[in-house]
Structure 1
Amino acid sequence: MLALLIGVTFAVLLWEIADANSATSARRASRTALVEAGSLEQLVLDFETGQRGFVITKREEFLQPWQAARKELPAQARRFTGTATSPEQRRIAEQIVRGVDSFVYDYSVPLVEAVRQGDPAASGLAATAEGKRRVDALRARFDQYTADERGKLAAREDIAGANARRAVIAAGVGLAASTALVAAFTVLQHRAVVRPVRKAAAAAGRLATGDLGVRIAPSKVAEIDALGASFNSMAGSLQDSRRRIMESVEEVHRRTARDLHDGAQQRLVNLMIGLRLARELVPDTESSATELLDQSIADAKTAIDELRELASGIYPLVLTVKGLVAAVQDLATRCAIPAVVESNFDQRIPAAVESNAYFVVAEAVTNAVKHAQASRIDISLELEEVLRIRVVDDGVGGVGAATAGSGLTGLADRVAAFDGVLTIESPPGGGTTILARIPMPA
């Protein structure tokens, strides 16, 4: 469209310029015709003036202008007829030339010869009147010729002015339309290309920081849409891969915790029972033996407690048996500072979501206990279209992207693996609020 508009504008300008050039040439021709007409008329006046002076004075020096005009007449007559600007003007010019020739050769030359020969009739009133009549007739024709030519010159000047105005208007309209078209094209390019590319760059930045749930909206531009589709496919593949890895890790944790509970922990329990039975069989008089058995029983109990704590940290048994809410409540009872749990549901949800939600809460509680110097923790679990987890402490706050440790980064990864969003609000001195939103699978 821009190329077509510029082409049309330049075509109009060239046409107007051609017209302007034609009008300029025509004006130049008219001015030349007027100049040549004036020159020929001046020759006629030189003829008339020279012959009159000679007739009155009979002196040859008065014929010098007459003689010069006679020599110049043929060439001037050709120039005069040659500069006529139209067939009608040429016809009038030829009539004028014939009239000038008749005046010169039929009247002026015979009159001068007659005066030279001393003919008294040559100086009479009749001869003088005839000359005046002829000159007046020629001047009338010259006036008609110049008047017509001046009219044409004025018309051509009007045409040239109109052409110039049209050229200026065409140039202005073309420039304005081109500017508007370029501006519209720029806006469309910004909307269709620049803005989607910026959004793609922003999405790539979010993806680089670990937000695998980011997606690029479809675009009407084929190349941008293909880029967005490839980006979304890549992000989806990464997200699915991380989800599978996380689910695999959770399964390993679950199996490890179960094996510890069913294997090593049960064996330690059996060992402690055996030690207690052996202690009852040994009399109190055997102080060395009883002390050794009592110490072994205490060590076995400590090992059982540590193993139970280890298994709970890997994957709590209550999470497998009773679900998320019960596991979080059990976590709150074992917390080193007071922790209150509120929930609007008690049903089970998909195991992968349960385990990740539990460890989000566990990591947030651990950070509050270790780093926040908090005196209270409030835990909220809400289930609607999404699972909403909120952990609030009254600690020192001041947690940001630059100060967040690997624990909070791991939380973001866990939530993002399930298309969720994690936000942290932690103004200095105002405590820390960790909010996670995890969509529920359909």
Structure 2
Amino acid sequence: MNAGRERRGRLLGLTSLTIAASGLLALLIGLGFAVLIWAIADSNDATSARRASRSALVEAGAMEQLLVDLETGQRGYVITKNEEFLAPWVAARDALPEETRRFTESTTSRAQQRAAQRIARGVRSFLDVNSTPVVEMVRRGDPAASDLKETSEGKDRVDALREEFDRYMKDERIQLAEREDAAEANSRQAVLAAALGLAASTALVAVFTVLQHRAVVRPVRGAAAAARKLAGGDLSVRVPPSRVAEIGTLGASFNNMASSLQNSRRRIMESTEAVHRRTARDLHDGAQQRLVSLMIGLRLARELIPGTETSAVDLLDQSIDNAQTAINELRELASGIYPLVLTVKGLVPAVKDLASRCPVATVVESRDERRISTTVESNAYFVVAEAVTNAVKHARASRIDVLVEFGDMLRITVSDDGIGGMDMAHAGSGMTGLADRVAAFDGSLAIDSPPGGGSTIRIRIPVPD
């Protein structure tokens, strides 16, 4: 009961931490977003104000340029009496109403608006009172148009208007600088607040991520890796215990399942080996012995028949040959099911007998040879048989070496000088069966098979006391 209460406490602690961290993170993110929204709104206002000031300066410059065009166009026409020099004046006069509207509408404050309206009236007055009459006088050929007084008065009015333009633009630039300073200060404050919120959120996320990784992610990854190994046939894999209740339960269930599968496979293999041994023994002691007795009887009958009975003699000779062939096939079949030498002499003699029948030169060595569990012996024999068969069929080998080492762990190494390039990911059913056999007895299998460098299979199988 205490253990269960302690487990629930740990689980509650993780849940509380998750809720608290999520709530605090949501609060920090909300504050951060609020600060950012305020900063963005203020920045947008400042940007709009800067854009309006720049527009006002542009329009003031355009308006001043119209004034200059009026004055220079008029002066050039007065001096040259050439209509071509009057073109800028005509263009400026025609554009003045629209430009006056844009200029007065682009102002950014009431004071600037009043100044713009005053400047616009001055420009209009200059055009109507000074510039247009002088142009008309020149067109009429009036010599008074070149009078120094008229020209000087118009020049004075232009200079006064340009001074007003300068004051207008100076005031606008001052306002623009003030807006930019205010916007920059607000931006710095917003960036600082956002940076502090981001730093706090990042720290919280980092701490929570580390805790989650240790408590949840790492155990789940371990369980996923174990599941992949289990799916690949490694039934000896186990998931380490976890302090998190759900993951601990998952790990225990996984380990029970893997253990159950391993025990089930081992029982099936042991049962299969027992059936194989019994079948081989029955074939040897039953059908094979009867065939031997039948062949002996046939040979005795052959000796009793006179040589003149050629048909009967030929028939008996053929029957004797058939009986001998059947005995050989039956002996080969019994050896393939379960070799008698394995039962009588043990693993190493059985492997040497296998090597003697292999079509590829096979050398068998052993160290600390002794008899071990019949179940492990039979399993190891068929592992070697499968590895040798694979080398013969697929490796194009000219030599196979088998090393069997006894100890607390049965170590078997099967090497060949074939083409290599073998791996478990692309192995056939034979290698898969070999891996299943090894895994069923808590063993391990490793393959070293570089392309063109031959293949080496290393098997380790625990030997029970």
Report the TM-score when normalising by structure 2.
Answer: 0.57
Distance 1:2 1:208 in 2: 37
Conserved 8 A contact 1:398-1:426: yes
1:307 aligned residue (330, 333, 345): 330
User: 3-state SS of the aligned residue for 1:424?
Assistant: strand
Distance 1:247 1:211 in 2: 18
1:373 aligned residue (393, 396, 410): 396
CA RMSD of aligned residues (A): 3.0
Partner of 2:239: 216
Residue 338 of structure 1 deviates from its aligned partner by: 1.2
Distance 1:393 1:192 in 2: 47
Conserved 8 A contact 1:5-1:174: no
1:290 maps onto 2:313 in alignment: yes
Deviations 1:252-289 (A, max 9, x none): 10100000000000000101111111112122232222
Distance 1:303 1:7 in 2: 84
Distance 2:241 2:425 in 1: 33
Distance 2:207 2:324 in 1: 80
Report the TM-score when normalising by structure 1.
Answer: 0.60
Distance 1:311 1:245 in 2: 20
Conserved 8 A contact 2:368-2:407: no
User: 3-state SS of the aligned residue for 2:424?
Assistant: coil
What is the one-letter code of the residue matched to 2:386? E
Partner of 1:346: 369
User: For the structure 1 residues 294 and 180, does the alpha-carbon distance in structure 2 shift closer, same or farther, using more than 3 Å as the test?
Assistant: same
Residue 370 of structure 1 deviates from its aligned partner by: 2.1
1:364 maps onto 2:396 in alignment: no
Within a 5 Å distance, the mapping from 1:177-256 to structure 2 comes to: 179-256=202-279
Partner of 2:456: 433
User: 3-state SS of the aligned residue for 2:285?
Assistant: helix
Deviations 1:87-142 (A, max 9, x none): xxxxxxxxxxxxxxxxxxxxxxxxxxxxxxxxxxxxxxxxxxxxxxxxxxxxxxxx
Partner of 2:300: 277
Residue 180 of structure 1 deviates from its aligned partner by: 2.8
Conserved 8 A contact 1:253-1:314: yes
Distance 1:413 1:284 in 2: 60
Distance 1:312 1:287 in 2: 37
User: 3-state SS of the aligned residue for 1:219?
Assistant: coil
Residue 427 of structure 1 deviates from its aligned partner by: 2.1
Partner of 1:390: 413
Deviations 1:373-427 (A, max 9, x none): 2111100111223211111111122223354211111101111111111222222
Distance 1:346 1:210 in 2: 30
User: Gaps (5+ residues) in structure 2?
Assistant: 1-19, 29-190
User: For the structure 1 residues 279 and 399, does the alpha-carbon distance in structure 2 shift closer, same or farther, using more than 3 Å as the test?
Assistant: same
Q: Which runs of 4+ in 1 moved over 6 A?
A: 3-9, 168-175
1:260 maps onto 2:279 in alignment: no
User: 3-state SS of the aligned residue for 1:429?
Assistant: coil
What is the one-letter code of the residue matched to 1:384? G
Which deviates more from structure 2 when the two are superposed, residues 355-364 or residues 427-436?
A: 427-436
Deviations 1:232-263 (A, max 9, x none): 00011011111111111111101000000000
Count of residues in Structure 1 that have an aligned counterpart in Structure 2? 290
User: 3-state SS of the aligned residue for 2:243?
Assistant: coil
User: For the structure 1 residues 284 and 7, does the alpha-carbon distance in structure 2 shift closer, same or farther, using more than 3 Å as the test?
Assistant: closer
What is the one-letter code of the residue matched to 1:195? R
Conserved 8 A contact 1:2-1:178: no
User: 3-state SS of the aligned residue for 1:308?
Assistant: helix
What is the one-letter code of the residue matched to 1:257? A
Distance 1:218 1:236 in 2: 15
- Largest Rg, 1 or 2: 1
Distance 1:364 1:213 in 2: 21
- Percent identity, aligned pairs only, is 74
Residue 225 of structure 1 deviates from its aligned partner by: 1.4
Conserved 8 A contact 2:444-2:460: yes
Distance 1:338 1:4 in 2: 73
Deviations 1:160-192 (A, max 9, x none): xxxxxxxx9999888755543431221121122
User: Gaps (5+ residues) in structure 1?
Assistant: 10-167
User: For the structure 1 residues 7 and 294, does the alpha-carbon distance in structure 2 shift closer, same or farther, using more than 3 Å as the test?
Assistant: closer
What is the one-letter code of the residue matched to 2:344? V
